[in-house]
Amino acid sequence: MIEIIRSSEHYHNEEDWLSTYWHFSFAHYQNPDKMNFGPLRVFNDDIIQPETGFDLHPHRDMEIVTYVIDGELEHRDNQGNHGIIQPGEIQSMTAGSGILQSEYNHSKEKLLRLLQMCIFANKRGLDPSWEQRRFDRAARLNRLLPVIVPENIKNGQALHIHQDAAIYVSSLTPGSRVEHKLAKDRKANVFVIEGKVKLNDNNSIETRDATKVENENRLSIQADGRPAELILLDLLEKYAVNNN
């Protein structure tokens, strides 16, 4: 089953410094029908004006993944971490027992667009941690590039999180196709960052559309007529949190 959520169906909040699309209930937007998808709790698509951003704010017991699409994101936290995240870079942060972070568009003129995803950690009270890595477009060209994998998976390139979830990014040229197998008891979330694609040959989605994929054993994704950028999350159908 493939459920399509059109861009117009996402909650959209517009402020003088921020334009944001929220896929799930978050902050002041409360919707009991949109609480999570498996362990995926937050999926936000943000455009931040120059010289503005989010002041220090708390997180806890979440694996937070940030993917910068355009512009540059400056990160600071109360653990002493500081970094500039550029387009194509992934940041992975374990909030664990508690962390305060700020996110800022330090450019004087360029907009910043980023995706931020919060995934429930598989254990509470972990030590907070932070890392980032750059992935060139060539590495994701016409393939699904794993950028986030579970902590027990050996992958020298991808970043790791404390949950049985994986995230892939892809840049497709017109007409190109990628395939992804879904194991039993797995589901997927596919989001089109830019462009237009067909899922399993008959489901057409385009910029800012998302899909919830369940009870499918494979996904075929083809760029439809023009280049496309997308992100795919492979998730547990059911998950548990270890309180010990």
- Residue 172 pLDDT level (bands cut at 50, 70, 90): very high
Average per-residue pLDDT in the chain?
94
Residue 47 near residue 111 (C-beta atoms within 8 A): yes
Residue 227 near residue 173 (C-beta atoms within 8 A): yes
Going 62 to 241 to 157 to 70, the CA torsion angle's sign is negative
pLDDT digits (tens, 9 = 90+) for 94-150: 999 999 999 999 999 999 999 999 999 999 999 999 999 999 999 999 999 999 999
Domain 2-236 -> CATH class: mainly beta
pLDDT number for residue 47: 97
Task: Please tell me the distance from the alpha carbon of residue 22 to that of residue 45, in angstroms, as a whole number.
Answer: 7
pLDDT number for residue 17: 96
pLDDT number for residue 241: 66
Tell me the C-alpha to C-alpha distance, in Å, between residue 212 and each of 2, 4, 33, 219. Answer: 6, 7, 14, 12
Give the angle 63-113-50 at the CA atoms, nearest 5°. Answer: 115
pLDDT surpasses 80 at 243 = no
Tell me the C-alpha to C-alpha distance, in Å, between residue 222 and each of 12, 114, 195, 230. Answer: 28, 23, 11, 11
pLDDT surpasses 90 at 154 = no
pLDDT number for residue 55: 92
pTM for the structure as a whole: 0.95
Choice among 143-147, 150-154, 175-179, 206-210 with the minimum mean pLDDT:
150-154
Q: How many CB atoms lie within 10 A of CB 103?
A: 22
Task: Please tell me the distance from the alpha carbon of residue 131 to that of residue 157, in angstroms, as a whole number.
Answer: 12
pLDDT digits (tens, 9 = 90+) for 20-36: 999 999 889 999 999 99
pLDDT digits (tens, 9 = 90+) for 69-97: 999 999 998 988 898 999 999 999 999 99
pLDDT number for residue 201: 86
Instruction: Please give the share of the chain, as a percent, with pLDDT higher than 90.
Output: 87
pLDDT number for residue 7: 97
Beta carbons within 8 Å of 22's beta carbon, 6+ residues apart: 10, 11, 12, 13, 29, 42, 43, 44, 45
Distance of CA 172 to the CA centre of its chain: 18
pLDDT digits (tens, 9 = 90+) for 2-12: 999 999 999 99
Give the start-to-end residue ranges of the domains of the chain: 2-236
pLDDT surpasses 80 at 60 = yes
